[in-house]
Structure 1
Amino acid sequence: MSALPDEHDDHFRDDRFSYGLRLGLWRKLFAYTRPYRRDVALLALLALTAAAADVMLPLITRTVIDKVSTHGLNADLRGDALWYVVLTLILGLSIGYFVRVGGKLRAYLSHDIRRDGFENLQRLPFAFYDYRPVGWLMARMTSDCERLANILAWGFLDFIWGFTLMGGIAVAMLMMNAKLALIVLAIVPVLLWVSAFFRWRILHSARLVRQTNSRLTGAYNESIMGILTTKSFVREEATLDDFKTLSGTMATASTRNLIQAAVYLPLILTLASLATGLALAIGGIDLTLGVISAGTLIAFLTYIRYFFAPVEELGYWFAEMQMAQAAAERILSLIETEPDIADSAIVRANLNKTASAAAPRMAADGGDARIRSIDLVDVHFTYETGKPILSGLNLSVRAGETIAIVGPTGSGKSTLVNLICRFYEPTSGRILIDGVDYRNRSLHWLQSNLGVVLQQAHVFSGTILENIRYGRLDASVTEVEAAARLAGAHDFIMAMEQGYQSEAGASGNRLSGGQKQLISFARAILADPQILIMDEATASVDTETEQHIQQGLANVLHGRIAFIVAHRLSTIKRADRIIVLRDGMIEECGNHTELMARRGHYSELYRQQRLEVLPQERLTA
């Protein structure tokens, strides 16, 4: 089985985009330059200045040659020399400044695009990440952003410079000699046809390169994250074969794209050489007939070289623009993706009205009151796969109650708590908080009142103190230590060389699974949540630590609503109610004593676990 993303999955396809030049898309991109209008205006001015200097220099050359041809060594060239020095200084300063301003603008634009992309990633619900690997998203936020920043800064500069220079040269050539000018300009329609011919092909191959690059980055991420599993099952060769296939696709697409660009640019050079040859031949004949001067012919040949220099540069940027458009479509699709789970228009209007009035939060936002009840009314849920996960759940929970959720794998335990957290929303049915549908409340308010401890606890790089304080950023050291004591984490933290200032390492790699779980639990306690969710939260800790946590929970859960998903049934005996899920429906509900007396599914599971634990307890004794 391959862990690589499926290229036929609609979530990874880029071939749905159009192949024409999308002006609307570029307008959205150039909107990022609005905060830097002064820099953009300065860039345009510098480009115009450089182009004007380039146009004027051959005119000085023409004048010098004609003066020398007429007056020989007696020609007065002081004024021409002064103009040449002045124009050279202007050209040098213009180039120096626009390299500086362009580099700054590129850095700013790259920052802003990445910021907006990351900001939207924070808003998107869990469902968005279900089918999009980390590497696939990383490719959009790194290489795609770089390409866009380059085209918006340097590409914009070169387009201004190129078109200004070509326009100025065309006017100058027409004024000097219309016949030669028309011969040179006759090549332009051919250039346009060549550009149109290659545009679609370069864009198509560019999109394939960007698409494959995302999948390749995703494969890197999957392979590195799963290296332990790969080695444990001796799957190195098979994984390498999968990666070689994807890497080969990337190489083929990149080669095709480079060949197309490599053919396109030499064609531009060939056409430029053809124009130069025609001008030299016809101009040479006119020179021998005395129709034009030597200075005019040399200036004309210089202009032809200058005329096609930006064409070559613009040809490069044209090919780059096709690839950038592919990247732009991918980045903007990420930035503009609307979260499926968000505050309703009514809630947003109430929040804005409340904020503008600087008044206490309204009821739609939950206010400052404690949460008194959560009710699930005929809740159904189905993932995108179409398979029903929860069917017709009804449940009422009051403040101070602890609800344990048990059941076989795939029964919907984690899905149920994810719905309560509003990481997902019911496909049908309602979830009420204090009698109000939670979709009519602020999402931020609900999730800021949640404390979640998952089976796979995530620990960030940084100190242990910073990781626990993540639950409440303004917490004091004393409060952090109190939460750690309650979670049973204080002793192992103090046993470390630097205590709470010890580094956790990248993704907590300096800590054991149980230690990461205790830190995650301490973080949730510090947040002082009104709703506490524990999803197999004690699966990675030993029995003694688990008992310590259970004792601390009695104080933590007082007055709060708690949902505990558990596999070890011995840990939930004190729960006010135990819900047994099977096939997405509640099969049994009651406390431990009641369910044991019914001799149903829960009783059978509990006895099986006791039979498994007793031999171990005897061996320990």
Structure 2
Amino acid sequence: MSMIDEKDFQNKKIRPDTWKVIFKFAANYKKSYVKVLGGGMLAGLIDLAMSFMTMWAIDGFMAPGTTRHLPVFIAVIVAMQAVLCLTVLMIVRNSGYLEANLCADVRRAAFRKLQTMSFSYFDKTAVGYLISRLTNDMSRITEIISWTGIDLGWGVMAIISSLIAMFAVNFKLALITAASVPFLALVSIFFQKKILRYQRESRKYNSMITSGFNEGIASAQTTKTLVREELNNEDFFTVTGNMKRATMRAAMISAVYLPVASLIISVAIGFVLVKGGHDVLGSLLTVGQLNFFINIGNMMFEPIRNFAGIFAEFQSSQAAAERVVDVLTATSDITDTPEVTAKYGDSFKPARENWEPITGDVEFKNVSFCYKENEPVLKNFSLKVNAGENIALVGATGGGKSTIVNLVCRFYEPNAGELLIDGVNVQERSQLWLQSSLGYVLQTPHLFSGTIRENIRYGRLDATDGEVEEAAKTVGAHEFIMKLEKGYETEAGEGGNLMSTGQKQLISFARAILADPRIFVLDEATSSIDTESEMKIETAVETLLKNRTSFIIAHRLSTVRNADRILVIDDGEVVEQGSHKQLMKSKGRYFELYMNQFKSEQSAKSLAVT
């Protein structure tokens, strides 16, 4: 997410619907939550009963100087403590169960949501912010939901039962005690906005720190080559300093809130002692009853005092919840209609039996597209590609080549116009229907954690070991794989970091071939491969691309000479098209590009020889 979007959280008011989204997940564990709340309430009732027992002990047999009821008193106290221990055990078990399962469910839902988001979402959302939301923020909100139920259940029951008991014992002292509650409410409202503001600011900077770590690790090589260590360090120190200040301000406000609340409580208890002491001296109140009021007053005010801490935690969790819910409720720019989903299924439950086979005809009809508003990349773009045709896209960087293939793959949706596959608008078919028939080899390929065999098999999960190895042989990857100590069982590493760029490209090519796609997209697919490997792949490609629609993006024009049609793309338009021979003969834009590149390559070879 951009910095502007992160700052937007600063201005949002507390929204009850934010918590509704989270509590929908908690509803799956209603029994556990009821046990936690019920256990807290039972603990509150036991505390009240203990105060009554103390009053009975003072007035019943301590003041008269008799021990006649002492055995009964001890037995009841022991029984109550035993029940309290069992209650606490039940609360802790269910709170731990609730926290673990709730956190797992929300993270699964968020991860599932991210799998369905279009590329435009990730264009606008930094990886570090997402990681922070699904780790730190997620843990915070599930923790407060799971464990504050204890304090809420006990606190609510303690306050209600205490007030009822106090009014039953002495109406005047109860009024003195209850009169402090509105003052506590006003103090809480006063501090609410300030605490929330700085907690939101703290969560924003926390996301930036996570993003900084992610970017610093991912770009370690670039940092070294550009000598950015000191600059990166300064940027990171600035962000951490900002977070420290925001966190300290939130802590300071909370620190002021607690003693102010305690002062109000202490004043109320002081008035109770003064009035109750006079009543004891006047024989209007017993010592046991006065002690009962002090105990009950503390019992009522303790949860209120705790609510101050819970309130501060809730403010922090509110900011965290907003970020998590922002992920859970995000909407993709590309969605299948209910009618399409009903027939073809979705990414997780595909109805493959209803899928029409793809032949490979592709047509753009007056397509317009822009990544940013008022910055068009394609304007009324039209193109007809026949099934099995090999199309090469060449031209200057930023001309729209990648945009064209991204639209073909339905990674983005046209802003206007239509994209047809086999004569049908792609919006009338499911995304998975199209993307299951795609083979895509990127300029910077990505491998998943796991073995080489597993990475190739991702192209078709039911492929046999023999088919996996045959795909590798086809692209010339088998030879280098077998030289590795564990062969196909060699770990590729996170993102393929244990493989060279050329090796990753060969593996990704084998993966695409194994999928047996009807539409192939090669984005500078041989740019990081040595000349010998490139020749092997080019030979394989000529065979594999027969009868398949293919789009090849190439800066090195020597790799597209055999394409059926070469399109020269400039500023989102086809300025020239034809075969290599036709374009060279016409001596237009393609001819200039080719000759300039040829001269550059010859100069580089001459320098290498000398």
Instruction: Name the TM-score, length of structure 2 as normaliser.
Output: 0.96
Asked if the contact 1:376–1:395 (Cα under 8 Å) also holds between the matched residues in 2, the reply is: yes
State the match for 1:121 in structure 2: 114
Q: Is 1:10 equivalent to 2:5 in the alignment?
A: yes
State the match for 1:256 in structure 2: 249
Q: Compute the displacement of 1:359 (Å).
A: 9.5
State the match for 1:517 in structure 2: 505
Asked if the contact 2:367–2:415 (Cα under 8 Å) also holds between the matched residues in 1, the reply is: yes
**Against the structure 1 CA distance between its residues 498 and 356, is the aligned structure 2 distance closer, same or farther, given a 3 Å change threshold?**
closer
- 1:145-294 matches, cutoff 5 A: 145-294=138-287
**Against the structure 1 CA distance between its residues 485 and 12, is the aligned structure 2 distance closer, same or farther, given a 3 Å change threshold?**
farther
Q: Compute the displacement of 1:101 (Å).
A: 0.6
Q: 2:20 aligns with which of 9, 27, 42?
A: 27
Q: Find the residue that maps to 2:65 and give its secondary structure.
A: helix
State the match for 2:555 in structure 1: 567
Q: Compute the displacement of 1:612 (Å).
A: 2.5
Q: Is 1:380 equivalent to 2:397 in the alignment?
A: no
**Against the structure 1 CA distance between its residues 159 and 229, is the aligned structure 2 distance closer, same or farther, given a 3 Å change threshold?**
same
State the number of aligned residues.
608
Q: Is 1:432 equivalent to 2:420 in the alignment?
A: yes
Distance, in Å, in 2 between the alignment partners of 1:45 and 1:558 is 69
Distance, in Å, in 1 between the alignment partners of 2:602 and 2:229 is 40
Q: 2:68 aligns with which of 63, 66, 75?
A: 75
Q: Structure 1 counterpart of 2:496, which letter?
A: G
Q: Is 1:134 equivalent to 2:122 in the alignment?
A: no
Asked if the contact 2:265–2:301 (Cα under 8 Å) also holds between the matched residues in 1, the reply is: yes
Q: Compute the displacement of 1:357 (Å).
A: 14
Q: Structure 1 counterpart of 2:430, which letter?
A: S
Q: Compute the displacement of 1:609 (Å).
A: 2.1
Asked if the contact 2:455–2:507 (Cα under 8 Å) also holds between the matched residues in 1, the reply is: yes
Asked if the contact 2:523–2:553 (Cα under 8 Å) also holds between the matched residues in 1, the reply is: yes
Distance, in Å, in 2 between the alignment partners of 1:462 and 1:468 is 10
Distance, in Å, in 2 between the alignment partners of 1:476 and 1:340 is 37
Q: Structure 1 counterpart of 2:523, which letter?
A: D
Q: 1:326 aligns with which of 296, 309, 319?
A: 319
Q: 2:377 aligns with which of 371, 389, 393?
A: 389
Distance, in Å, in 2 between the alignment partners of 1:602 and 1:394 is 20
User: Once the two structures are superposed, what CA deviation does each residue of 1:447-490 show, in whole Å capped at 9, x if it has no partner?
Assistant: 11111111011112221111111112221111110111112111
What percentage of residue pairs aligned between the two structures are identical? 41
Q: 1:448 aligns with which of 436, 439, 443?
A: 436
Q: Compute the displacement of 1:256 (Å).
A: 0.9
User: Once the two structures are superposed, what CA deviation does each residue of 1:68-125 show, in whole Å capped at 9, x if it has no partner?
Assistant: 2454144322222111111111111111210111011011111111111111111110
Q: Compute the displacement of 1:399 (Å).
A: 1.8
User: Once the two structures are superposed, what CA deviation does each residue of 1:392-436 show, in whole Å capped at 9, x if it has no partner?
Assistant: 322111222111111011111111111111101112221101111
State the match for 1:493 in structure 2: 481
Q: Structure 2 counterpart of 1:346, which letter?
A: E
Q: Compute the displacement of 1:620 (Å).
A: 6.4
Q: Is 1:40 equivalent to 2:40 in the alignment?
A: no
Distance, in Å, in 2 between the alignment partners of 1:549 and 1:297 is 92
User: Once the two structures are superposed, what CA deviation does each residue of 1:469-521 show, in whole Å capped at 9, x if it has no partner?
Assistant: 11122211111101111121111110000000111122212111100111111
Distance, in Å, in 1 between the alignment partners of 2:146 and 2:596 is 67
Q: Structure 2 counterpart of 1:555, which letter?
A: T
Range with greater deviation from structure 2 (471-480 or 63-72): 63-72
Asked if the contact 1:464–1:501 (Cα under 8 Å) also holds between the matched residues in 2, the reply is: yes
Distance, in Å, in 2 between the alignment partners of 1:174 and 1:92 is 29
Instruction: Name the TM-score, length of structure 1 as normaliser.
Output: 0.94
State the match for 2:514 in structure 1: 526
Q: Find the residue that maps to 2:332 and give its secondary structure.
A: coil
Q: Find the residue that maps to 2:526 and give its secondary structure.
A: coil
Distance, in Å, in 2 between the alignment partners of 1:373 and 1:288 is 100
Asked if the contact 2:344–2:433 (Cα under 8 Å) also holds between the matched residues in 1, the reply is: no
Q: Compute the displacement of 1:11 (Å).
A: 5.9
5+ residue gaps, structure 2, are none
**Against the structure 1 CA distance between its residues 189 and 12, is the aligned structure 2 distance closer, same or farther, given a 3 Å change threshold?**
closer
State the match for 1:364 in structure 2: none
User: Once the two structures are superposed, what CA deviation does each residue of 1:518-554 show, in whole Å capped at 9, x if it has no partner?
Assistant: 1111111111111111111111101111110011112
5+ residue gaps, structure 1, are 362-366
Q: Find the residue that maps to 2:9 and give its secondary structure.
A: coil
Q: Which runs of 4+ in 1 moved over 4 A?
A: 355-359, 615-621
Asked if the contact 1:62–1:295 (Cα under 8 Å) also holds between the matched residues in 2, the reply is: yes
Q: 2:405 aligns with which of 403, 417, 424?
A: 417
Q: Compute the displacement of 1:337 (Å).
A: 1.1
Q: Structure 1 counterpart of 2:235, which letter?
A: D
* Aligned-residue CA RMSD (Å): 2.1
Q: Compute the displacement of 1:385 (Å).
A: 5.0
Asked if the contact 2:369–2:378 (Cα under 8 Å) also holds between the matched residues in 1, the reply is: yes
Q: Structure 2 counterpart of 1:401, which letter?
A: E
Q: 2:469 aligns with which of 478, 481, 505?
A: 481
Q: Compute the displacement of 1:382 (Å).
A: 1.1
State the match for 2:565 in structure 1: 577
Q: Structure 2 counterpart of 1:419, which letter?
A: L
Asked if the contact 2:116–2:332 (Cα under 8 Å) also holds between the matched residues in 1, the reply is: yes
Asked if the contact 1:67–1:75 (Cα under 8 Å) also holds between the matched residues in 2, the reply is: no
Q: Structure 2 counterpart of 1:455, which letter?
A: Q
State the match for 1:601 in structure 2: 589
**Against the structure 1 CA distance between its residues 126 and 166, is the aligned structure 2 distance closer, same or farther, given a 3 Å change threshold?**
same
**Against the structure 1 CA distance between its residues 341 and 356, is the aligned structure 2 distance closer, same or farther, given a 3 Å change threshold?**
closer
Q: Structure 2 counterpart of 1:500, which letter?
A: Y
**Against the structure 1 CA distance between its residues 358 and 231, is the aligned structure 2 distance closer, same or farther, given a 3 Å change threshold?**
closer
